[in-house]
Amino acid sequence: MQTHIMIPVQEFCMHHQVDPSFIYSLKESGLIDISIVEETSCIPADQLPGLEKITRLYEMDINLEGIETITYLLGQINKQEEKIRMLTNRLSRFESDELT
């Protein structure tokens, strides 16, 4: 069984100097997941890059609704970029097939 690295919410908040209520509001809005490990609220380590980006937005005085919108739009951009890469690869294969 694979174990997942978990970061206590309090530790993240101390390191990034944010109030724990901000983290819990992110959980309520569905932007992050929080798990309880031995009666301690923890954040899965694989969510840290996204959470750190969100924290930087918060530090720029962007409210929760703005953060939700920005996160959604960035997700849409990433999906479109992936689709463009996939279509470019397909086109490249098609073009190379025509040359042979």
Packing angle of the helix pair 9-16, 48-59 (nearest 10 deg)? 40
Structure tokens at 74: 């960035």
Per-residue pLDDT at 2 exceeds 60:
no
CA-CA distance, 58 to 14, in Å (whole number)? 15
In this predicted model, what pLDDT tens digit does every residue of 42-98 receive, in sequence order? 999 999 999 999 999 999 999 999 999 999 999 999 999 999 999 999 998 877 766
Return d(Cα 7, Cα 11) in angstroms, integer: 7
Helix (H) or strand (E) segment spanning residue 6: strand 6-8
Give the per-residue pLDDT at 86. Answer: 96
Q: Which domains does the chain have, with CATH numbers?
A: 6-99 (1.10.1660.10)
CA distance 2 to 34: 18
